[in-house]
């Protein structure tokens, strides 16, 4: 998503971050296999794993889950239900792929990582289009995004 935001020159208007719903890989760099797959598409992955915090619900306009398990975890973190409308499945923004969840390529080969990059590029493109049409075409301060999977990387 940050790659697409930068390409569109929207880095001053849209903030995007990534966090996991569990405490795996906190502080770790992105998976080397995902980094390689992204690089094949001209994308540089940066950052380090961290876990979603409740303050993320207050900070960000969108909280995006990669699959149903993470979606349910995020809903449960918002015990009062105050931020339920911010929580969405990433694939709900896909324009070309029909997947409903982002598969976890961790235990597979390089093809799985490339597929996830392609799927996420489609979903992120749809999300960016949604944000620009819904928020940036009006006097909107910025759209903030949060991606959530279980790894935090």
Class of 2-149 in CATH: alpha beta
Rg, Å, the chain Cα set: 15
Contact predicate 63/74, CB 8 Å: yes
What is the pTM (predicted TM-score) of this model?
0.88
pLDDT tens per residue across span 138-153:
544 444 555 556 555 4
pLDDT tens per residue across span 79-119:
999 999 999 999 999 999 999 999 999 998 999 999 999 99
Contact predicate 34/118, CB 8 Å: no
Kindly report the number of other CB atoms within 10 A of residue 40's CB atom.
11
Torsion, Cα of 71, 74, 76, 77 (10° steps): 180
DSSP string, 88-139: EEGGGG-SS---SS----TTS-HHHHHHHHHHHHHHHHHHHHHHIIIIITTT
Pick from 31, 39, 24: nearest CA to 107: 31
pLDDT tens per residue across span 29-41:
999 999 999 999 9
Report the chain's mean pLDDT, rounded to a whole number: 91
The domain spans of the chain are 2-149
């Amino acid at each position: 998503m940050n790659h697409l935001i930068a390409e569109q020159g929207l880095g001053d208007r849209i903030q995007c971050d990534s966090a996991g719903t569990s405490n795996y890989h906190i502080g770790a760099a992105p998976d080397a296999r995902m980094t390689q797959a992204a690089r094949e598409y001209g994308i540089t992955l940066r950052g380090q794993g961290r876990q979603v915090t409740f303050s993320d619900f207050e900070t960000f306009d969108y909280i995006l889950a990669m699959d149903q398990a993470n979606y349910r975890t995020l809903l449960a973190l918002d015990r009062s239900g105050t931020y339920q409308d911010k929580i969405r499945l990433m694939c709900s923004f896909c324009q070309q792929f029909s997947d409903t969840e982002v598969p976890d390529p961790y235990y597979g080969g390089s093809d799985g990582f490339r597929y996830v990059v392609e799927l996420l590029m489609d979903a992120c493109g749809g999300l960016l289009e949604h944000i620009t049409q819904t928020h940036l075409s009006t006097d909107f301060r910025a759209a903030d995004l949060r991606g959530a999977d279980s790894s935090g990387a």
